[in-house]
């Protein structure tokens, strides 16, 4: 048994901030993060011997719960055949076929090793294909940490953005226009200003990186028709929502077909995988067929393919998503009812196996509204729940996830913990 504080001190000496991805450091909620030793099904165990019910699910991939026996067996078998070849394999064809079959908007797909790589490459492809430089993204949507996407809105609505990270030269983001999520009028105005210059719009079709924000009716449809009439590539970043909100992601639920889609998280089953794909005509611009360069030493890695394929297979079980959605709704409704009993201003929302919790009376529609939530109440709730063995995302700006292993007993334990914590807020 090793104390988290000792481990965190040790980590901080050799890893900046002690973590390899910033949100893990618990900066927005305070305190020392637990160090995780193992996980099984819906639960995590830390190095101090505490057990938690997990609603982070490795930030999305763990839709089957942790250490699913079929996924682990597939990984073990693939590893025994060799870890990486840097040459074509059958598993890559099977993965590409599985994705193309599930997402009707994709004729072809290129496999990479992370969501960041997928979105960065999709944007380069959209620019190369259209011969245009400008792109539109929305405030509060996260598309990985590549330079041209680390940008916040400029001073005016139609001015191009400013870097949101040090180390990104302003020139690198001068082509990125940042607009408000769900603000179709702003997108129309941008096209009126730059009718033939916009290479692509990239959007989370249901935003999960500013907590949980749905597209308002007409928003995705409006983006689709503006992109079609201006020769602009519409990119749905479904790294989080693809296979999480339903078998065909948000494009399946909304009926809106993007030109390109980015995927990651669930399709790797817990191993590092990303993908981007779309119309064959656009995909033909990628090297070695076309002039847009993109590559990766470990792309299509055989062990990662095995984990992803085993995961995708299990998602096809009849009724899988109905059951997942039902459990998630039950959780969210239970939490809302518990908050109501204690007079805490709170609401929640979910789709498929993804949900958001808000310490405010109304569900937010954009980043400004999410930011108006009671951050202090969230912090107290987060730590209260952690103390009761419930591990939620350590930030009020992240969605949380339910897996196929979150059974009624797990949900009831969570809701009664919340009941006690709401009573103290
Ligand atoms: C997680 C995420 C990414 C980045 O993926 P990484 O694998 O962390 O690089 C990109 N887009 C969305 C919508 C995400 O949720």
CB 182 within 8 A of CB 219: yes
Same domain? 337 vs 307: no
Same domain? 196 vs 129: yes
CB 267 within 8 A of CB 96: no
Same domain? 239 vs 376: no
| Residue 224 to residue 167: CA distance in whole angstroms | 33
Q: Which atom of ligand 1 has the smallest separation from the CA of 114?
A: 7
Tell me, what's the pLDDT at 271? 98
Cα-based angle 125, 365, 397 (whole degrees, multiple of 5): 75
Known catalytic residues are 142, 237, 265
What domain range is 242 assigned to?
69-315
Q: Mention every residue, 6+ apart, whose C-beta is less than 8 A from residue 317.
A: none
Tell me, what's the pLDDT at 155? 63
Same domain? 188 vs 217: yes
| Residue 40 to residue 61: CA distance in whole angstroms | 14
Residues 10-38 pLDDT 10s: 999 999 999 999 999 999 899 999 999 99
CATH at residue 202: 3.40.640.10
Q: Which residues of the chain have pLDDT under 70?
A: 154-159
Which of 120, 143, 204, when mutated, tests ligand 1's pocket best, judged by the most ligand atoms within 8 Å of its CB?
A: 143
Cα-based angle 242, 247, 251 (whole degrees, multiple of 5): 55
Chain-centroid distance of CA 205 in Å reads 11
| Residue 75 to residue 61: CA distance in whole angstroms | 15
Tell me, what's the pLDDT at 161? 80
Point out the domain boundary residue: 294, 315, 336. Answer: 315
Q: Is 379 in the pocket of ligand 1 (CB under 6 A)?
A: no
Residues pairing with 269 in the sheet = 271
pTM above 0.85, yes or no: yes
Same domain? 288 vs 391: no
CB 306 within 8 A of CB 78: yes
175 C-alpha to ligand 1 centroid (Å): 21
Tell me, what's the pLDDT at 157? 60
239 C-alpha to ligand 1 centroid (Å): 6
Tell me, what's the pLDDT at 26? 92
Quick one: CA dihedral 280, 285, 287, 288, positive or negative?
Answer: positive
Residues pairing with 80 in the sheet = none
Which of 115, 122, 137, 308, when mutated, tests ligand 1's pocket best, judged by the most ligand atoms within 8 Å of its CB?
A: 115
57 C-alpha to ligand 1 centroid (Å): 14
Point out the domain boundary residue: 315, 343, 362. Answer: 315
Point out the domain boundary residue: 315, 336, 365. Answer: 315
Residue whose CA is at the smallest distance from ligand 1 atom 11: 143
Same domain? 131 vs 247: yes
| Residue 301 to residue 296: CA distance in whole angstroms | 10
DSSP 17-70: GG-SSGGGG-TTT-SPPPPEEEEEBTEEEETTS-EEEESSGGGTT-TT-BT-HH
Residues 184-235 pLDDT 10s: 999 999 999 999 999 999 999 999 999 999 999 999 999 999 999 999 999 9
Tell me, what's the pLDDT at 153? 76
Q: How many domains does the chain have?
A: 2
Tell me, what's the pLDDT at 316? 97
Same domain? 75 vs 222: yes
CATH at residue 404: 3.90.1150.10
| Residue 118 to residue 124: CA distance in whole angstroms | 10
Q: Above pLDDT 90, what percent of the chain?
A: 94
Q: Is 113 in the pocket of ligand 1 (CB under 6 A)?
A: no
Same domain? 325 vs 272: no
Same domain? 311 vs 329: no
């Amino acid at each position: 048994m090793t104390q988290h504080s000792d481990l965190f001190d040790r980590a901080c000496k050799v890893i900046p901030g002690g973590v390899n991805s910033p949100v893990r450091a618990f900066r927005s909620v305070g305190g020392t993060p637990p160090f995780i030793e193992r996980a099984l099904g819906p639960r995590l165990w830390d190095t101090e011997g505490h057990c938690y019910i997990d609603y982070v699910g490795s930030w999305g991939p763990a839709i089957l719960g942790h250490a699913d026996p079929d996924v682990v067996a597939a990984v073990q078998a693939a590893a025994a055949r060799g870890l990486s070849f840097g040459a074509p394999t059958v598993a890559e064809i099977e993965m590409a076929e599985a994705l193309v079959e599930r997402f009707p908007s994709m004729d072809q797909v290129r496999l990479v090793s992370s969501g960041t790589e997928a979105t960065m490459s999709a944007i380069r492809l959209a620019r190369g294909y259209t011969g245009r430089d400008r792109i539109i993204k929305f405030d509060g949507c996260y598309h990985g940490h590549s330079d041209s996407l680390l940008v916040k809105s400029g001073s005016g609505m139609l001015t191009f953005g400013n870097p949101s990270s040090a180390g990104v030269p302003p020139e690198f983001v001068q082509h990125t226009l940042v607009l408000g999520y769900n603000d179709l009028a702003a997108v129309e105005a941008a096209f009126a200003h730059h009718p033939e210059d916009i290479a692509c719009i990239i959007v989370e079709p249901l935003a999960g990186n500013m907590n949980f924000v749905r597209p308002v009716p007409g928003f995705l449809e409006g983006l689709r028709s503006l992109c079609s009439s201006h020769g602009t590539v519409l990119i749905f970043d479904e790294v989080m929502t693809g296979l999480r909100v339903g078998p065909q992601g948000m494009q399946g639920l909304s009926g809106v077909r993007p030109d390109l889609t980015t995927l990651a998280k669930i399709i790797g089953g817990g191993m590092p995988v990303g993908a981007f794909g779309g119309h064959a005509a656009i995909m033909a611009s990628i090297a070695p067929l076309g002039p847009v360069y993109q590559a990766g030493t470990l792309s299509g890695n055989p062990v990662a393919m095995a984990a992803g394929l085993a995961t995708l297979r299990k998602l096809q079980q009849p009724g899988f998503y109905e059951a997942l959605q039902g459990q998630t709704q039950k959780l969210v409704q239970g939490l809302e009812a518990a908050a109501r009993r204690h007079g805490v201003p709170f609401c929640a929302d979910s789709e498929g196996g993804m949900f958001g919790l808000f310490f405010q009376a109304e569900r937010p529609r954009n980043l400004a509204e999410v930011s108006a939530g009671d951050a202090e109440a969230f912090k107290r709730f987060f730590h209260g729940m952690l103390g009761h063995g419930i591990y939620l995302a350590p930030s009020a700006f992240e969605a949380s996830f339910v897996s196929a292993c979150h059974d009624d007993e797990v949900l009831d334990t969570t809701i009664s913990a919340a009941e006690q914590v709401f009573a103290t807020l």
